[in-house]
Structure 1
Amino acid sequence: MEKDLKLSRTFFRFHYWPFVAVTILFLMTFPFLFGAQYLEPEQTAMIVERLFTIIGIVLFIPLYLPDTQKKILAVVRAKKTSYSRLLILRLVQILAMVLISLAVFLLVLKLNRSEFNFLEFFFAEFATVLFLGGLLNISYTFFQNLIPSTMVAMMYYVLNMFSGSKYFGPFYLYTLMENDWQSKIWLFLAGVVLLTVSIIFSTQQKNNV
């Protein structure tokens, strides 16, 4: 446990805190920049799916960020710590930050008298973010570079914004306004699968280096 805490603190201190800082700044300013007062459920859904989704993608970027450093590879090769364990510890920290920031985001909307079901919106948006985070990180296993991997997730986000659900089927992102919970369940399950496969593939790749 002590070793895990040390690894988690190291990840946060040297890699994750800038992304957390950006998230905190966003949470402090978005009500003033975009208007979050007295929104109807449809308007709230649009704000949540358009704005927080971007922050969610940003929070998932650092999962593989430390792995470009030779020291990390040396630790993995020496088998001092399993690579899968490192990834799981990072992922736990990322998921915790996503959940906390999403809860704060929705709470701010509630305090500003916006109308929506907190728990429904919480699960729906978490499913969307989890899917895009999984898409970003499964892309990393192929590109081995964070820039094109992040672009894949961002392009999926943008393409969904400018096209209808008929092109993406159950994996269409913006269904919160339509109360389409089945699509959100598919996004959630797909996100879990993508992240799991990403960790398995990346572990195999690093162990074979």
Structure 2
Amino acid sequence: MTLTEKLENCLSLIKINIKISILWNLIFSIGFLCLLPFIQGVANLDRVSAAICLENFVAIIGVILLVPVFSPEESKEIDEIISSKFMPNFKPYIARIALSAASILILIASFCLMLKYNSCEFYVAAYIFGTFASALFLGSIGMLISSLSASTIVGYMASIGYLIINMMTGSKYVGKFYIMSMKNNSFDEKYYILIGSIVLIMLSIFIKGIKRKI
């Protein structure tokens, strides 16, 4: 296979996965962020208030974009089509995860810049990183559960359940995997949840691959 053919296949893979898995979730995420100013103040926020806005609300786009990564295969017809392609089964998953993660990062960065434009006081780069880590971890929890249960709905419930636990009990039960630490001016937890996200995503792909071979 020539380099040109490889590039064409890669672009084809990206286009297909945007269409079947990313597009509508991305539109929904953008809509959610556009509605957020009507729910949560987004002007003249101090460091703590900005952290609450980002970690409690904006991070939810990680759930919207990452949890449904395996949802196309819940349709038997699509699963058979993907299985029949020349590419290894894990490549569509990696493409969707990469596209979803990039979308999450871009949306979070855009929202943070909007907050800054509205005279909010916080460190932009640090808060982008912290919110991205929280969003990725929330999404990866649901992704793992959906790969185990073969149900995107169950994955959503797991992610939202973890979010509620963090809101209600703080770090009492989750320890270093607390996703709302920025309001306490602590970023150590972000490194734990970022590493945890990578582990959960890898486990999800591995489990999905094993289940398809059974």
Aligned residue for 1:167, secondary structure, equals coil
Residue 146 of structure 2: which of 140, 145, 149 is its match? 140
Aligned residue for 1:35, secondary structure, equals coil
Q: How many aligned residue pairs are there?
A: 208
Question: 1:32 offset after TM fit, Å?
Answer: 4.1
Verify the 8 A CA contact 2:147 2:208 in the aligned structure 1: yes
What is the correspondence of 1:12-91 to structure 2 with a 5 Å cutoff?
12-78=18-84, 80-91=86-97
- 2:168 maps to 1:162: yes
Give the Cα separation in 2 of the matches to 1:181 and 1:102. Answer: 17
Aligned residue for 2:40, secondary structure, equals helix
Unaligned ranges ≥5, structure 2: 1-6
**1:19-64 deviation line (CA, Å, top 9, x unaligned):** 1112222333323442211111011011111111212211112211
- 2:9 maps to 1:3: yes
Question: 1:178 offset after TM fit, Å?
Answer: 1.1
Residue 203 of structure 1: which of 184, 188, 209 is its match? 209
CA RMSD of aligned residues (A): 1.5
Aligned residue for 1:66, secondary structure, equals helix
Unaligned ranges ≥5, structure 1: none
Give the Cα separation in 1 of the matches to 2:45 and 2:82. Answer: 50
| Counterpart position of 2:111 | 105
Verify the 8 A CA contact 2:62 2:104 in the aligned structure 1: yes
Verify the 8 A CA contact 1:27 1:104 in the aligned structure 2: no
Letter in 1 for 2:140: G
Runs of 4+ residues over 4 Å off in structure 1? none
**1:143-194 deviation line (CA, Å, top 9, x unaligned):** 1111111101110000110113122110112110112211111011000100
**1:4-26 deviation line (CA, Å, top 9, x unaligned):** 22122122223322211122223
Give the Cα separation in 1 of the matches to 2:47 and 2:31. Answer: 25
Verify the 8 A CA contact 2:42 2:118 in the aligned structure 1: yes
| Counterpart position of 1:175 | 181
Question: 1:76 offset after TM fit, Å?
Answer: 4.5
